[in-house]
């Protein structure tokens, strides 16, 4: 792989019996950056709350009826900004002298990104006043997983360095279908005009603003879905490590120009079964879809 597209920082919090203090977070982030060497790591700030409940943090929404749509991720982080400040400082110190890539989960409106970025910048000013070594560069990104954000990309894109489309949450919100509900798991297909047209539009808008865009979540780790994503212009996928070999084999056997033409035609005039049409095309073209 060429780097880590989504480092879920909440895991360290979820496996701890007590809140990991700033120094512990910092040591961990530094180890990750050391291990990655020259390859980029994108740290996602805490995505807790809702169903990712932290036992040592009270009132964080675990009693909510709709936790996925509740007080979680950046919503909780901006309200409880002590947690976010400590994490910002840990990340900034760990990345001293190097590039720090940081992104915020569940951004619904541009002001949430502005506040989160301002919080990081205030921590930078503090560290600078203490003569601490700062990152050589900080690149800021947002996850696009709440559909509303797609309507304000013209406002958001000039403010940031990259967007990562989180297909797990995005799909559940686009289809109003709980991602944890097994009875809905097979009901809506990632290879549907709704999802693919939505992502195509976001990718086009990001490219028009010269903002890097990638796709993360389970979708990109599946060969046919990855093929479709590449066909609509996606050039970066962040996938589960176990899928890297399979997806690279698929990509190496793919004629991207031909995939673009096929996907444009299919999305302009969708057929009944998109999955079947893409599978047939892949077989005909001898693309390695496993
Ligand atoms: C997503 O929602 O697609 C995503 C990558 O984040 P998570 O699965 O951690 O919610
Ligand atoms: Mg998500």
DSSP string, 127-158: HHHTTPPPPSEEEEEEEE-SGGGGGGHHHHGG
pTM score, two decimals? 0.96
Q: Could you tell me the distance, in angstroms and rounded to a whole number, from the CA of residue 218 to the centre of ligand 2?
A: 10
Q: Are 238 and 216 in contact (CB under 8 A)?
A: yes
Q: Best mutation site among 9, 50, 67, 143 for ligand 1, i.e. most ligand atoms within 8 A of its Cβ?
A: 143
Bridge partners, residue 179, by sequence: none
At 6 the three-state DSSP class reads strand
163, 167, 194, 269 from 187: Cα distances, Å: 28, 16, 14, 22
Residues of the chain with pLDDT under 50: none
Interatomic CA distance for residues 181 and 202, integer angstroms = 27
Cβ-based burial of 187 (10 A; exposed 0-12, middle 13-18, buried ≥19): exposed
Q: Which ligand is nearest to the CA of 10?
A: 1
222, 247, 271 from 185: Cα distances, Å: 15, 22, 22
Largest CA distance in the chain: 62
User: At residue 76, what are phi and psi to the nearest 5 degrees?
Assistant: -65, -40
20, 45, 70 from 42: Cα distances, Å: 20, 10, 25
pLDDT in the model for residue 66: 86
pLDDT in the model for residue 59: 62
pLDDT in the model for residue 255: 98
At 42 the three-state DSSP class reads strand
| Best CA proximity match to 43, nearest among 85, 9, 86, 19 | 9
pLDDT in the model for residue 62: 58
Q: Are 20 and 87 in contact (CB under 8 A)?
A: no
Of all protein residues, the one whose alpha carbon is nearest to atom 9 of ligand 1 is 8
Q: Could you tell me the distance, in angstroms and rounded to a whole number, from the CA of residue 280 to the centre of ligand 2?
A: 31
Q: In what order do the strands lie in the sheet with 4-8?
A: 4-8, 41-44, 99-104, 137-144, 162-166, 212-216
Q: Say how many C-beta atoms besides its own lie within 10 A of residue 176's C-beta.
A: 9
Q: Any residues with Cβ below 6 Å from ligand 1, and which? A: 6, 8, 47, 145, 166-169, 216-217
């Amino acid at each position: 792989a060429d780097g880590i597209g989504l480092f879920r920082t909440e895991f360290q919090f979820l496996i701890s019996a007590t809140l990991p203090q700033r120094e512990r977070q910092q040591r961990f982030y530094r180890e990750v950056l050391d291990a990655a060497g020259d390859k980029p790591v994108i740290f996602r700030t805490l995505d807790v709350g809702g169903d990712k409940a932290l036992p040592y943090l009270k009132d964080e929404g675990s009693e909510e009826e709709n936790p996925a749509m509740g007080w979680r991720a950046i919503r909780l982080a901006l309200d409880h900004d002590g947690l976010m400040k400590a994490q910002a400082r840990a990340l900034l110190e760990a990345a001293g002298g190097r590039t720090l890539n940081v992104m915020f989960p569940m951004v619904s409106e541009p002001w949430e990104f502005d506040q989160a970025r301002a919080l990081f910048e205030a921590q930078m000013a503090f560290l600078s006043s203490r003569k601490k070594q700062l990152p050589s560069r900080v690149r800021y990104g947002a996850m696009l997983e709440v559909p509303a954000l797609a309507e304000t990309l013209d406002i958001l894109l000039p403010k940031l360095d990259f967007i990562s489309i989180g297909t797990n949450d995005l799909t559940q919100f686009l289809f109003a279908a709980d991602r944890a509900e097994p009875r809905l798991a097979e009901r809506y297909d990632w290879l549907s005009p709704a999802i693919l047209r939505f992502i195509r539009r976001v990718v086009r808008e990001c490219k028009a603003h010269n903002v890097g865009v990638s796709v993360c979540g389970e979708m990109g780790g599946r060969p046919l879905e990855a093929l479709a994503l590449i066909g609509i212009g996606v050039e970066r996928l962040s996938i589960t490590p176990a899928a890297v070999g399979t997806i690279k084999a698929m990509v190496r056997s793919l004629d991207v120009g031909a995939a673009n033409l096929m996907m444009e035609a299919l999305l302009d005039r969708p057929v009944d079964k998109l999955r079947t049409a893409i599978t047939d095309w892949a077989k005909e073209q001898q693309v390695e879809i496993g």
